[in-house]
Amino acid sequence: MKKRKLGNSDLEVSAIGLGCMGMSYGYGTVSDKKEMISLIHKAIEMGITLFDTAEVYGPYINEELIGGALKPYREKVIISTKCGIKIVNGKQVLDGRPEVIRTSVEGSLKRLKTDVIDLYYLHRVDTNVPIEAVADTMKALIKEGKIKHWGLSEAGVDTIRKAHAVCALTAVESEYSMMWRQPEKELLTVLEELGIGFMPFAPLGKGFLTGAFNKNTEFARGDLRSQLPRFSSENMKSNQALVDLIHKVAEEKGAAPAQIALAWVLAQKSWIVPIPGTTKVHRLAENAGAVEITLTHEELSKLNDALSKITVVGERYPVGSDYAKRAGK
């Protein structure tokens, strides 16, 4: 497994990480714990060292799963987790107050069975709390040895600049894939300027880019994708052109579609580390194999030209929803 450094930091991780949310949360069912522990151990065998979780996934059960599975390998792996979202009366509520962050970090340390968190994110920006106050809190937690690095998830560039000025950010986590290229507009430029790494979630378009879904797909009850506009039957039918393009390139390269989608993300910048999630061992192996797929300058240019002719339809979050309102703040 190849390694990458997140921005100008000294945090070196596997070129592809493992997003662990879907093992416990978000896709309708909670996977079998023993199977997921086995999958995590297989990921380590494949050379994956970066494992991403969050306090709110469950809540709590995903961190507990990751903590138990990684305890025997703690010195060999990097754990990233997140704070700032609470479940109140069944709804997600943002809370980034310094005292809440401090309470959250103590809980995460216990659940993750560790003395220090490698990378600690504010999960979403709480606009009621100055980001400088969050950065000051993270700086203190680093000084106290409770976290090593910190980051922001789904933050806007102005917030990133303000936070970084107080305490250097190691990474920003946001969605990025062939299906969602908005970070290219200004985020990637700012991250490069400031020397901050990028950890894209959903680099496979929440599974769509693998070709696993089509207009006839019915998602399980509780699967977040059933609520997302881009996963409506009509929009999936319209976006099939993107999947067809990826399949075509995959056939030419003798690779799986997922590997082409991930190789494309990896090819954008050397400080980008995607964190695809999976609950299936064969998908895990497929994703890990993407680091061996090299897209030449000519192939990348040809692929980007084809992508520019495809219009992806469907918002990633319902318009006006809480999910949409808190992205890019």
The pLDDT, as a whole number, for residue 245 is: 97
Q: Which two tokens stand for residue 38?
A: 């086995």
Handedness of CA 63, 67, 101, 17 (dihedral sign): negative
**Whole-number pLDDT of residue 32:** 96
Which residue segments constitute the domains of the chain, with CATH numbers given? 3-207+257-294 (3.20.20.100)
pLDDT at position 76 is: 97
Residue 326: per-residue pLDDT? 94
Residue 69's pLDDT is 98
Q: What string of pLDDT tens digits covers the 329 residues of the chain?
A: 999 999 999 999 999 999 999 999 999 889 999 999 999 999 999 999 999 999 999 999 999 999 999 999 999 999 999 999 999 998 999 999 999 999 999 999 999 999 999 999 999 999 999 999 999 999 999 999 999 999 999 999 999 999 999 999 999 999 999 999 999 999 999 999 999 999 999 999 999 999 999 999 999 888 999 999 999 999 999 999 999 999 999 999 999 999 999 999 999 999 999 999 999 999 999 999 999 999 999 999 999 999 999 999 999 999 999 999 999 99
Is 285 strand, coil or helix?
helix
Q: pTM (2 decimals)?
A: 0.97
**3-state class (DSSP) for residue 152:** strand
pLDDT at 139: 98
How far is residue 176's CA from residue 269's CA, in Å, rounded to a whole number? 12
Phi, psi angle pair for 198, to nearest 5° = -130, 125
Predicted pLDDT of residue 64: 98
Largest CA distance in the chain: 54
Q: What pLDDT was estimated at residue 29?
A: 84
- Give the model's pLDDT for residue 238: 96
Q: How far apart are CA 249 and CA 162, in angstroms?
A: 41
User: What is the distance between the alpha carbons of residues 289 and 14, in angstroms, rounded to a whole number?
Assistant: 12
Q: Which amino acid is at 262?
A: L
Provide the pairing of β-strand 197-201 with 18-19. Answer: unpaired
pLDDT at 221: 87
Point out the residues that are catalytic: 57
